Structure 1
Amino acid sequence: MADAEFLSRIQFGFVISFHVLFPAFSIGLASWLAFIEAMWLRSRSDLWRDLYFFWLKIFAVVFGMGVVSGIVMSFQFGTNWARLSEQAGGILGPLLSYEVLTAFFLEATFLGVMLFGWRKVSDRTHFLATCMVALGTLVSSFWILSASSWMHTPAGHQFIDGSYQPVDWWAVIFNPSFPYRLTHMVLAAFITTAFVVGGSAAIYLLRGRWQDKAQVMLRCAVAFIAIVVPLQIVAGDLHGLNVREHQPAKLAAIEARWETETHVPLTLFAWPDEAAETNRYAVDVPYLGSLILTHSLDGEVKGLKDFAPGDRPPVKPVFFAFRVMVGLGFAMLGLAAWGLLLWWRGRLFTQRGFLRVFAAMLPAGFVAVLAGWYVTEIGRQPWVIYGLMRTRDAFSGVDLVSVAISLTSFVVVYAIVFGFGIWYLYRLFAAGPKQAPPRVEPEATPARPLSAAPPVGENA
């Protein structure tokens, strides 16, 4: 029978799984909007204006859903995981506050101008607002991932009077895994958006709708994916080297390595048997594991048996989620190469097989983000702060009935609210990039507020 701690883990995992999808999309979407508006400023083409308003509507919905799901998630730190807040609040609290004071205020300041200021401010001011919102999403990623990374590779702290206190904020913020985790996540967000843009363009082309706009979106998506996916593979490789150094048990679970050995093969597929501490039905490629994980053919990789059973993460979910993420990454790379070849041959918009595959790959970025998040968070177990605080010690002791009620409530409310939100997004995509309102220069604002009133005796 499930206990309260286990249900609390499920509840947090459920909520964060919903939440991470929306920021991942909105980060890339905000930068995509800045690019579109820059192209409109350069060309003054109606096509770019129409695309901007189409994606702006989608961004508004996604951004709102991300804010709502994020607020709900934060409540759990004070309810289900209060001991984490008590012991690490001196570090995590300021980092999350910096996110509010910088990113959220920046976004809140310029979001209204971005959404409603098309006819009320100058074109350059509106473009500045779009860029500031895009910058705000990146700044938000900076602080959130700094806090998350500190929990994986804690640094710059001391344990004083029963809690972790910062002694070097530079070391806290720029902890050992932070640069790799930030780069990996931001690139993942950009790739996620690129596949939504390209996938929706492929659907429009297959259906013979919005042809000129769909062609522009598809060209941009293919070019962007061809550039960013290889960068993501390099970033992932560097992140893997960092995991090997700082979280060797996680790497052992990712690769289902039970024995510490050199000349490690790459396990393409297996069924990890944790009870027997072995792999069933393993398909290995000799030496490739050492080459990838250590950049040497005879590099050593620690095995799970080097760690006490209570210090090992669950192997199966980490092992399979990692292969889903990597498999999708190489599928994305192959799709980009196919697209470049068709572009070179002048068949990018007419090869229906390619368009069907791209349309099917539309949600690939979301799946890869979730899989990567599971690898990161499940692979950290049994630690909530790696090497310092176990997850069970962070639980605040909420009773089973309360957790069951709150989890059920979350599932029902999320199904209604986010179900409607996703349905509304589907309707927006189905409507397509229609003609947007023309640009009209705003009327000059009077230098003196009272001068805006009509003279005495004159009708207003």
Structure 2
Amino acid sequence: MDDFFAARSQMALSLGFHIIFACIGMIMPFFMAFSHYKYLKSQKEHYRKLTVAWSKGVAIFFVTGAVSGTMLSFELGLLWPQFMLHAGPIFGMPFSLEGTAFFIEAIAIGFFLYGWGKFNPWFHWWTGVVVGVSGLLSGILVVAANGWMNSPSGFDYIDGEFLNVDPIAAMFNDAWFTQSLHMTLAAFVATGFAVAGIHALLLLKGKNQELHWTAVKIALAFGAIAAILQPVSGDISAKDVATRQPAKLAAMEAHFHTEKAAPLVIGGWPNEKKQTVSYAIRIPGGLSFLAHGDTNAEVTGLDQFPEENRPPVLITHIAFQLMVGIGMLLLVVGIIGIFGLWKKKAYLQSKWFLTLLVMMTPLGFVAVEAGWVVTEVGRQPWIIYEVMKTRDGLTPMRGIVYSFWVYAFVYLSLCAIVTVLLIRQVRQLDKKEHNLPTYP
């Protein structure tokens, strides 16, 4: 493993873990706040117990997200100093604002966790809402910074120098909205189905029926609505990528040759040397329509780019197919769930549907990981698209492979600790607790 591969692997590992912690930390506060709202309106005990239980989960993921996010910020400077030397002054604003959002979230979560019986009930509820909103803003701001790497703006690049920096234009780059929308919906989908699946499993085991059924309904509603909206976001993103990063789109679709009425490739195994795709289903004109809204439009292929500037096709294509396939599956399950909640259908509590939800538990996060592979690998070989190549941003420091193994140990340890804590919290859900926090 050379230093370049080790550095990229370390960033991939760190992002892979952090994105799960961050997604759950962003979305769970909304579930918690909704359950809290229902408790304040109905005074039903199971809503209070569910709110307290979910708030403990929020605290766990807030801490782990903060730790893993801090490690990532150090990695940017340590592994990619040449990148940060030029990029830091340009896209530093969303990172600084993200820090502000994080501080607000930290204050609000402290108020919520320790505010039971000390604040007015509705003010206490509002602090929980602030936790969710500030966490979501934090995520959007980080994605805006990543969007700048895909669509660099807010500066002039003249003779290798970054001049006339405009941090506002850099933050509101052409990619920030589409990426933020897609990532936010993905976080709701992944977290919603994961939480619904965990509580569905506890229902199948005959645990506290009222509490877990309430949890399934709340999480499923959030996750299903986001899953139904996600294809719209995906279409917006695809059209945007077709305009800004045609090489990435070509890699996503394993589209080797520029042509009109380009077919949409479903599945398949790309061969980059032969520039063919085996075992694929092709829909005539499908790619042209999705990319440009016209079945006869010309779609740029990889043949229009120098070989050294082409993204890895196999990884990008497989990850993209995996993301879309899981998204479609969750969309179908979401429609079934929303219809059942709307019409109050008994099948929602049937063994087959609860089992289906359990099977969906990890899939949303698999799709999130696949989506980030598409975003990052599909941009290669650029760290700043068409401005700086990834290799040029690497540190000259040697021995990065040792850093990779240390970070791998830390993240695996974090994952193990979080898993143990969550299992303990889940087991405590069905115990009778007489000292639950409440209002006088």
Say whether 1:77 aligns with 2:76: yes
Equivalent position SS for 1:159: strand
In the alignment, structure 1 segments of 5+ residues that lack a partner are: 442-460
Give the drift of 1:310.
Answer: 0.7
Alignment CA distance shift 1:37-1:165 (3 Å): farther
CA contact under 8 A between 2:265 and 2:281: conserved in structure 1? Answer: yes
Q: How well do the aligned residues superpose, as a CA RMSD in angstroms?
A: 1.8
What do the CA deviations read for 1:100-134 (whole angstroms, capped 9, x no partner)? 1x201211222211112212222122112111111
4+ runs deviating over 6 angstroms? none
Task: Confirm whether residue 10 of structure 1 aligns to residue 13 of structure 2.
Answer: no
Residue 134 of structure 2 corresponds to 136
| Cα deviation, residue 349, structure 1 | 4.1
Match of 1:452 in 2: none
Give 2:210's match in structure 1, choosing from 209, 212, 221.
Answer: 212
Give the structure-1-normalised TM-score.
0.91
SS of residue in 2 equivalent to 1:276: coil
The residue identity in structure 2 corresponding to 1:406 is S
Match of 1:447 in 2: none
Number of aligned pairs?
Answer: 437
Determine the C-alpha separation between the residues in 2 that align with 1:342 and 1:333: 14
Q: Is the 2:111–2:127 contact (alpha carbons within 8 Å) kept by the matching residues of 1?
A: yes
Task: State the Cα distance separating 1:413 from its structure 2 match.
Answer: 2.3
Cα deviations across residues 186-218 of structure 1 (Å, max 9, x unaligned)? 111111221122112211221111111222222
Contact kept, 8 Å, 2:190 with 2:223, in 1: the verdict is no
Could you say which residue in structure 2 is the equivalent of 1:116? 114
Q: Match for 1:79: what amino acid?
A: L
Equivalent-residue separation in structure 2 for 1:111 and 1:166 (angstroms): 40
**1:80-91 superposed matches below 5 A:** 80-91=79-90
Q: Partner letter of residue 98 of structure 1? A: L
Structure 2 residue aligned with 1:227, among 225, 228, 232?
Answer: 225
The partner residue of 1:263 within 252, 261, 275 is 261
Contact 1:265–1:290 under 8 Å retained in 2: yes
Alignment-derived partner of residue 66 in structure 2: 67
Displacement of 1:264 in angstroms is 1.4
Equivalent residue, structure 1, for 2:376:
377
Residue range with higher mean Cα deviation, 85-94 or 234-243: 85-94
**Is the partner of 2:280 in helix, strand or coil?**
strand
- C-alpha displacement of 1:293: 2.3
Q: Distance in 1 between matches of 2:218 and 2:157?
A: 50
Asked whether 1:417 is paired with 2:417, we answer no
* 3-state DSSP of counterpart to 1:280: strand
Q: TM-score, normalised by structure 2?
A: 0.95
Q: 2:400 aligns to what? A: 403
CA contact (8 A) 1:339 1:348 kept: no
What letter matches 1:353 in structure 2? W
Amino acid at match of 1:177: A
Structure 2 Cα separation of the partners of residues 165 and 122 of structure 1: 52
Match of 1:314 in 2: 312
Partner of 1:352: 351
Does the CA contact (< 8 Å) of 2:2 and 2:401 recur in 1?
no
What is the CA-CA distance between 1:342 and the residue it aligns to? Answer: 4.6
Q: Which moved more, 1:342-351 or 1:386-395?
A: 342-351
The DSSP-based 3-state class of the residue aligned with 2:378 is helix
Residues 342, 38 of structure 1: alpha-carbon distance in 2 compared, 3 angstrom cutoff? closer
Of stretches 89-98 and 20-29 in structure 1, the one that deviates more from structure 2 is 89-98
Match of 1:170 among 147, 168, 171: 168
Amino acid at match of 1:20: I
Alpha-carbon distance between aligned partners in 1 of 2:123 and 2:438, rounded to the nearest angstrom: 13
- Over alpha carbons, which structure has the higher Rg? 1
**In structure 2, C-alpha distance between the alignment counterparts of 1:210 and 1:161, rounded to whole Å:** 67
What are the superposed Cα offsets for residues 303-333 of structure 1, whole Å, 9 maximum, x if unpaired? 1111011110000111011111111111111
- 1:96 is aligned to 95
Partners of 1:91 and 1:410 lie apart in 2 by 28
Secondary structure, aligned partner of 1:79: helix
Paired letter, 1:89: G
SS state at 2:17 partner: helix
Q: Take 2:191 and 2:155, find their aligned partners in 1: how far apart are those partners?
A: 37
Could you tell me which residue of structure 2 aligns to residue 237 of structure 1? 235
Distance 1:54 1:129 in 2: 17
**Contact (CA 8 Å) 2:192, 2:224: kept in 1 or not?**
no
In 1, the alpha carbon distance for the partners of 2:372 and 2:321 equals 13
Deviations 1:6-64 (A, max 9, x none): 11111111111111111111111111112122222222221211110111111111111
State how far apart, in whole Å, the 1-side matches of 2:132 and 2:243 are.
Answer: 33
The letter for the 2-side match of 1:420 is: I
Aligned residue identity for 1:118: W
Amino acid in structure 2 at the alignment position of 1:404: V
Structure 1 CA distance, aligned partners of 2:405 and 2:217?
A: 44
Do 1:51 and 1:433's aligned partners in 2 also have CA atoms closer than 8 Å? no
Assess if the C-alpha contact under 8 Å between 1:215 and 1:349 holds in 2.
Answer: no
